[in-house]
């Protein structure tokens, strides 16, 4: 399973590098992409998913514990020759979380001078972690659950592992989710994507005195996992693979 761990680690690192990187480009003062807008963020994250899934094709390109959980509950193989199970799921999750942390460090290295020059600590935190437009925990969890359900359920219906249905298809799906459902919470969709960079933000004490908003941190973990669970369970009721 070592190769699976490495594959998910590298793919998730690339996902976070390019995804959080586009947020840094749009959010940080002085960057050439500053104020580039929401659609630039949507397409940047979509292309980040494309690169990450393609890179991690050997492991099925999950890059996301919610996807792993959804596949597990749906009874679909994690990758060719990798049956769903607790031990395998733990390897995937470990690779995803560590990869997300590595990707966040790379974003910091790329934008270090802009992070240092940024006077708004919330802008710095927003590069690494999601946050709500209106802080209402129950509704924020529901938004993340719905958005992640769409991601995982469509992945399941189109053939299981993301690399199996094509990285471009997943990328376009993520662009659509961000454009349609990303406004309330910033569409984490992925516990590792949010938790890993948030840990890096906290450990390196970035953004001055703002903190890392740990009071909100459980929402982009719980909501996506719940969305993955619902998708995996519903798949047994309405399986409609294109093949």
Query: What pTM, to 2 d.p., does this model score?
Result: 0.94
Q: Is the pLDDT of residue 226 over 80?
A: yes
How confident is the model at residue 165, as a pLDDT?
61
| Closest CA relative to residue 171, chosen from 43, 10, 20 | 43
How confident is the model at residue 121, as a pLDDT?
94
Q: Is the pLDDT of residue 243 over 80?
A: no
Of residues 208 and 174, the one with the higher pLDDT is 174
What would the mean pLDDT of 85-105 be, rounded to a whole number?
97
Q: Is the separation of the CB atoms in 163 and 52 below 8 Å?
A: no
Q: Is the separation of the CB atoms in 118 and 126 below 8 Å?
A: no
How confident is the model at residue 237, as a pLDDT?
85
Q: Is the pLDDT of residue 177 over 90?
A: yes
Kindly report, residue by residue over 132-168, the tens digit of the pLDDT.
999 999 999 999 999 999 999 999 987 765 655 678 8
Beta bridge partners of 79: 82
Element (H, E) at 122: helix 121-128
Domains of the chain plus CATH, in order, are 2-235 (1.20.1080.10)
How confident is the model at residue 216, as a pLDDT?
98
How confident is the model at residue 207, as a pLDDT?
74
Percent of the chain exceeding pLDDT 90 equals 84
Kindly report, residue by residue over 7-47, the tens digit of the pLDDT.
999 999 999 999 999 999 999 999 999 989 999 999 999 99
Q: Is the pLDDT of residue 110 over 60?
A: yes
How confident is the model at residue 159, as a pLDDT?
73
Measured between alpha carbons, how far is residue 77 from residues 73, 160, 161, 234 in Å? 10, 8, 8, 17
CA–CA dist 107, 97 (Å, integer): 15
Beta bridge partners of 82: 79
């Amino acid at each position: 399973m070592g190769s699976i761990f490495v594959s998910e680690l590298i793919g998730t690192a690339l996902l976070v590098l390019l995804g959080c990187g586009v947020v840094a480009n749009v959010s940080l003062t002085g960057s050439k992409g500053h104020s580039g807008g929401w659609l630039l963020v949507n397409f940047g994250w979509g292309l980040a998913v494309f690169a990450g899934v393609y890179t991690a094709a050997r492991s099925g390109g999950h890059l996301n514990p919610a996807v792993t959980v959804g596949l597990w509950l749906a009874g679909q193989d994690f990758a060719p020759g990798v049956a769903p199970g607790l031990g395998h799921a733990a390897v995937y999750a470990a690779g995803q979380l560590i990869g997300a942390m590595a990707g966040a460090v790379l974003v910091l290295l790329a934008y270090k001078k802009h992070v240092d020059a940024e006077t708004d600590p919330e802008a710095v935190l927003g590069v690494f972690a999601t946050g709500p437009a209106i802080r209402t925990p129950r509704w924020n969890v529901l938004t993340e659950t719905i958005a992640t359900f769409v991601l995982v359920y469509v992945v399941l219906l189109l053939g299981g592992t993301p690399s199996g249905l094509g990285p471009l298809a997943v990328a376009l799906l993520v662009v659509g989710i961000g454009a349609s459902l990303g406004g309330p919470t910033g569409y984490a969709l992925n516990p590792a994507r949010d938790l890993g960079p948030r840990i890096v933000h906290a450990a390196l004490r970035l953004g001055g005195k703002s903190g890392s908003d740990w009071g909100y941190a459980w929402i982009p973990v719980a909501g996506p996992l719940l969305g993955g669970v619902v998708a995996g369970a519903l798949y047994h009721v309405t399986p409609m693979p294109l093949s």
